[in-house]
């Protein structure tokens, strides 16, 4: 009998790719969406858990709502609490629960590779809600792993995110694009590589509780633009908008991947140009 995996946020960008990957490997997947499992309604969550999962991967959350802090905390923190409360009442506990946090919890740090051992200093409401979720997990007698993914992208990600915005402008042959600083380096990993790590974490024997999901490889936006010029055969005028710029922005922020690698895991480093080409062709 195949293992049963309960995935929240299944209709989201990451969730769609994760569910497809798990099914391809033979897992039985419950695709929890806002329609069949409203994480803000504990009764809805309990009803959905009649699926009796062996594993739970919690991806659901608000990732882009800069003006609505109340909604962010309601979904990202209170929704996660509902999920963990409902799991705690299950007769058969899942073998493992994976909670998707975010590298944004690190917040204001010195430039360089960020280790899981650093003290988080979250700045945004989103990052603060994710750290609260991490702290909440300590209160439950469940096998919980927390992931802190660094930036990743791919075909189908919304244009309110930076890389899809750039790809979309080239695809539309736009004359001008407004951006912020072009030189700071950040990770832009491939979602297909990220979901493979989630699957491997399901059965990983480890004493660690928190894992960065990253490649340790950063790219500047100027480099991304050059790749897009090559891929599209088009040029675009870049106007730097002060509203998108931060004076104190670190020059490079990437993941310290030592813990991931010490546990036999390695984010397959699909070259960023290959990822951009995939996105451009599927825009």
**What's the average pLDDT block by block, 10 residues per block, for the chain (283 residues)?**
94 98 98 96 97 98 80 95 97 97 92 93 93 97 98 96 98 97 95 98 97 97 98 97 80 94 92 98 94
The C-alpha angle with vertex 218 and arms to 180 and 155, in degrees rounded to 5, equals 75
Residues with a known catalytic role: 126
Per-residue pLDDT at 199: 98
β-strand pairing of 189-190 with 152-153: parallel
Dump pLDDT digits (tens) for 111-123. 789 999 999 999 8
Per-residue pLDDT at 68: 87
Domains and CATH numbers, the chain: 4-154+188-216+254-269 (3.40.50.720)
Per-residue pLDDT at 67: 67
SS (H, E, C) the chain: CCCEEEEECCCCHHHHHHHHHHHHCCCEEEEECCCCCCCCCHHHHHHHHHHCCCEEEECCCCCCCCCCHHHHHHHHHHHHHHHHHHHHCCCCCCCEEEEECCHHHHECCCCEEECCCCCCECCCHHHHHHHHHHHHHCCCCCCEEEEEECCEECCCCCCCCHHHHHHHHHHCCCCEEEECCCCCEECCEEHHHHHHHHHHHHCCCCCCCEEEECCCCCEEHHHHHHHHHHHHCCCCEEEECHHHCCCCCCCEEEECCHHHHHCCCCCCCCCHHHHHHHHHHCC
Global pTM? 0.95
As beta bridge partners, residue 190 has 153
Per-residue pLDDT at 65: 61
Per-residue pLDDT at 1: 66
């Amino acid at each position: 009998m195949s293992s049963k995996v309960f995935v929240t946020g299944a209709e989201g960008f990451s969730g769609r790719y994760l569910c497809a990957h798990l099914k391809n490997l033979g897992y039985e997947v419950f695709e929890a969406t806002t329609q069949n499992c409203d994480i803000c309604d504990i009764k809805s969550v309990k009803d959905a858990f009649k699926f009796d999962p062996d594993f739970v991967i919690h991806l659901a959350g608000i990732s882009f709502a800069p003006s609505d802090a109340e909604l962010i905390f309601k979904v990202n923190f209170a929704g996660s609490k509902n999920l963990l409360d409902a799991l705690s009442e299950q007769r058969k506990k899942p073998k493992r629960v994976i909670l998707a946090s975010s590298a944004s919890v690190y917040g204001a740090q010195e430039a360089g590779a960020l280790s899981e051992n650093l003290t988080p200093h979250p700045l945004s409401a989103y990052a603060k809600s994710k750290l609260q979720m991490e702290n909440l997990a300590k209160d439950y007698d469940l096998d919980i792993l927390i992931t802190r993914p660094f930036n990743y992208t791919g075909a189908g990600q919304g244009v309110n995110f930076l890389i899809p915005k750039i790809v979309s402008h080239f695809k539309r042959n736009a004359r001008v694009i407004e951006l912020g600083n072009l030189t700071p380096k950040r990770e832009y990993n491939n979602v297909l590589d990220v979901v493979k790590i989630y699957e491997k974490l399901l059965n990983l024997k480890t004493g660690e509780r928190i894992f960065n999901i990253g490649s340790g490889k950063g790219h500047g936006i100027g480099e991304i633009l050059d790749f897009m010029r090559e891929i599209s055969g088009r040029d675009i005028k870049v106007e730097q908008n002060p509203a998108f710029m931060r004076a104190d922005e670190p020059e490079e922020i990437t993941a310290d991947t030592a813990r991931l690698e010490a546990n036999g895991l390695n984010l397959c480093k699909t070259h960023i140009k290959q990822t951009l080409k995939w996105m451009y062709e599927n825009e």
